[in-house]
Structures are given as C-alpha cells and as structure tokens.
Amino acid sequence: MSTGGREEAPSAGQAATQEAVEAVESVGRSAIQLVEDVGGIALMGLQTAVWLFRPPYRLKNLVAQLDYIGVGSIFVVGITGLFTGMVFAVQTYHAFSLFDAQGLVGATVALSLSRELAPVFAGLMVTARVGSAIATELGSMRVSEQIDALATMAVDPLQYLVVPRVVACVAMMPVLTMLFDTVGIMGAYLVAVFGMGVDAATFLGRIRTWVDPEDILGGLIKAAVFGLLISLIACYKGYNAKGGAKGVGTATNEAVVMGSVTVLVVDYFLSLLLASFWSTHAARGPG
C-alpha cells in the first residue's frame, strides 16, 4: 500500500538499532580487513620470496634501497640509540645505587639494548622513516597507474618494486640494530663512567660477564624479522592503495600504525620463542 510518495522518518528505537548494527558491522569489517591484510601480506611475502630467486636480479635497485633504508637511517637510529643508552644508564644508576650495585649499570644497559630495546626502537624508527616512505611511494605509483604501466611493460611490479625494498629492509635492520647497540652502550658508558663515576673496568667487566653472544644474536634475529614485517606491511599498504591522494595518505598512515604495532606485538612472541630456543640449547631442564 502506497503512503502517498512520502517516506516515514525512523523512530528513535530504530535509529539506535541501526547504530548498533553499524557498530557490529564496523567490527566485522575491521576483522575482515585484518584477515585480508594478513593474508595479503603473507601472499606478498611468498611472492617476494619466489621472485627473490628469479632473474633478472635488479641489484641497482637493491643497492639504492640499501642506501636509503640503511645509510639513510643512520642518523635517526644513532641519535635514538645514543640517548636511549644514556637515559637508561641514568635511571639504572639511581636504581642500583639503592643496593650499592652501580657496577651493574653497564651489564643492564647492554642486556636490555641487545635483547629488546635496540631491535624494537630501531624497528619503530625504520617504520616511521622507511615504512611511511615506502607506502607513500608505492601508493603514489599505484594511484598514478605507474605500477600498471610497469605491468604493461612486462615488468613484474612485485619483483621491481617490492623485492628490493623487502630485501634491503631485512638486511639493514640488523645492521641498524647493531648500530643502535653500539651507540647505546657508548652513551651509557659516557654517562656512567664520566658522569656517574662508575669504574670503567667494572662497567665493561660486568657487560662481559652478563651479556652472552646469544643475546646479541637474538636481537639481530628480531631485527631481521622486524625488517621483513615492516617492509612487507609498507609495501602491501602502498601497493594496494586506492582512492587518489587521500588513499595514499590512508595507506601511509595504516602502514606506520600497523608496522609499529606489529613490531611490539611480534617482539613479545619472538622473545618467548628465542628464550625457549636458547633454553633448549642451554640444555637446562628435566632429565
């Protein structure tokens, strides 16, 4: 039955129901999007792995990305590492002075940096600097149809654009983490030895006593994993950007946020995994 061509305004109850439904739909869409993203990133990772070993090997692109990701991040990672080590030395010095154990400052800073802080902070810095750049660059290429043009020219965009970035990021993250470790411990040394009066031999001796090579290796492994994830996320978001300039911005934003969160979340699970791995190799346990 016709109402005479006029639509009735929804009641308050209907409006509330509509909002609730939309909220649930939003959650559902986010979950679906997350699954889609994870799946897409995984597929991109697999394709990257495949294209990594297929010629032509575009070393020039790789070197350029190594330069941009690694050498270009030296300053920001170095500054971050220096002040992280210095701040950590100040705080641990005051904490350990309560127990008259200031000699443990070096060991504590070195352990923290090598196991956790260096890979995580370096990962965050690379996410902020490199991940955003990759997403923006690839997003711009996508919305300007440059990627489509590559495909038209029988150049696989994944091999040309993604593989060098992923490889460079995986390779440079451990290097930057090593830089972070070194500069951070140097900063802690400066503060503790010259600023707080901790004995230099004690500082270094405690590092040698308490820090094991496994700690350094674990940090570097984490950094490589972080590099892989950061680059894949950034490439995925940029590669699949749509909607013009706004879409590029959204892709960049999502790449940084997702990359940062992923670094922190994955760090936890990697820590558990590595601890279990080292414990197993330390042959400690029942039996």
Partner 1 sequence: MKLRSFVTPFKVGLFVLVAIGAFIGFYTFVHKGGLSKEDSVDCFAVFHDASGLEKKTQVLIAGIAVGEVTSITLYEGQYARIGLRILKTVKLRTDGAITKRSASILGEYVLDLYAGSEQAPLMKDGGQIVNVVDQAGMQQIFQALGKITDDIQAVTKELRNVMAGQQGSIQQIVRNLSAVSSTLDRTVAINGERLDETLGNFQRLSAQLASIASAQRGNVGEIVENVRVASDEARQALATLDQVLGANKGSLAENFASLKTTLGHLDDSLRNVQDITKRIDQGEGPIGRLVNDKALGDKLDRTLTGASTLVDRIVGMQTEVSMDVDYMWGEAAAKGYLNLKLIPKADKYYLVQVVDDSRGTPQFAFTQTTPAAPLTQEPAQQVITTTRSFKFSGEFAKTIEPATFRLGIIESTAGGGVDVNLLGNDLRFTTDLFDFNDFYQPLPRLRSYLTARFLDHFEVRGGVDDALNCDSYSGFRFNCAQRNVVAAEGRGYTLGGRELFFGGAFTFTDEDLKAVLAAAPMPK
Nearest-CA neighbor of 142 among 162, 119, 171? 162
Decide if residue 116 touches partner 1 (CB under 8 A).
no
> Count of residues binding partner 1 (CB under 8 A)?
36
At a CB cut-off of 8 Å and minimum separation 6, what does 191 contact?
85, 86, 89, 90, 93
Decide if residue 208 touches partner 1 (CB under 8 A).
yes
Residue closer to partner 1, measured from CB, 64 or 128: 64
> What would the two tokens of residue 121 be?
């902070």
Using CB under 8 A, pick the residue from 86, 105, 130, 175 that binds partner 1: 175
Decide if residue 179 touches partner 1 (CB under 8 A).
yes
Decide if residue 282 touches partner 1 (CB under 8 A).
yes
Reply yes or no: is the peptide bond before residue 157 cis, omega within 30 of 0. Answer: no
Nearest-CA neighbor of 64 among 161, 157, 178, 173? 161
Could you tell me how far CA 115 lies from the centroid of its own chain?
A: 15
Decide if residue 275 touches partner 1 (CB under 8 A).
no
**Which positions from 17 through 46 interact with partner 1, judged by CB under 8 A?**
none
Decide if residue 64 touches partner 1 (CB under 8 A).
yes
In whole angstroms, what is the distance from residue 240 CA to residue 247 CA? 9
Chain residues binding partner 1 by CB under 8 A are: 60, 63-64, 66-67, 70-71, 74, 99, 101, 104, 110, 114, 171, 174-176, 178-179, 181-182, 204, 207-208, 211-213, 215-216, 220, 282-287
